[in-house]
């Protein structure tokens, strides 16, 4: 057994545990004071639960300046990988219980490439990968952009109906 304890305080944690030999203690960080359970426990989970019970039973008020998830702007946005499915693939996915959402893609008939992005509806970038294509939730917006591309760039653009998992789609809201 040690003569003393070294406890590293994390100001963000209200309840924590620490180990003394082979046993654990639960603790509550109340800013100026630290409340420690007198009973020892054989694992950290039991000690943490005892600390929560101590906080609740003794009405310990937390005086630390813990702020729950402020709106932090991240400079780099990580877009979740979305996979675009055809109608045949979607039938298999629905059997597994996934919810799918209908989206529209614009495809060039001649090259078979998909429109990846449009700039002012007069310049378009193309990609062979349908997962990198620009997605449209609204059929009317997709038709409008397709008509503009047919008149401004070259005729031969068509719409393809595809599906993505529900609540994962991020579509550019285009104004036609």
How far apart (Å, rounded) are the C-alpha atoms in residues 34 and 10? 12
Residue whose C-alpha is closest to residue 89's, from 131, 117, 137, 138:
131
How buried is 44 (Cβ within 10 angstroms: 0-12 exposed, 13-18 middle, 19+ buried)? middle
Instruction: Provide the residue-wise pLDDT of the chain in tens; the chain has 176 residues.
Output: 556 777 777 667 888 888 888 899 999 888 778 889 999 999 999 999 999 999 999 888 776 454 555 555 544 444 456 788 888 888 877 777 777 888 899 998 888 888 888 776 567 888 888 888 888 888 998 898 888 888 888 888 999 988 888 765 555 554 44
Verdict on whether the full-model pTM lies above 0.75: no
């Amino acid at each position: 057994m040690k003569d003393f304890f070294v406890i590293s305080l994390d100001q963000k944690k209200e309840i924590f545990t620490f180990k003394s030999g082979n046993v654990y203690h639960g603790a509550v960080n109340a800013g100026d004071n630290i409340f420690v359970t007198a009973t020892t426990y054989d694992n950290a989970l039991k000690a943490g639960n005892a600390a929560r019970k101590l906080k609740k039973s003794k009405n310990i008020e937390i005086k630390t300046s813990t702020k729950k998830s402020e709106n932090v702007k991240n400079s780099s946005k990580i877009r979740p990988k979305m996979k675009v499915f055809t109608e045949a693939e979607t039938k298999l996915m629905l059997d597994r219980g996934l919810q799918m959402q209908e989206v529209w893609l614009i495809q060039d008939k001649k090259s078979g490439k998909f429109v990846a992005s449009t700039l002012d509806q007069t310049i378009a970038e193309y990609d062979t990968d349908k997962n990198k294509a620009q997605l449209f939730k609204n059929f009317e917006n997709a038709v409008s952009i397709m008509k503009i591309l047919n008149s401004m760039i070259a005729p031969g653009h068509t719409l393809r109906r595809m599906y993505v998992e529900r609540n994962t789609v991020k579509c550019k809201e285009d104004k036609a």
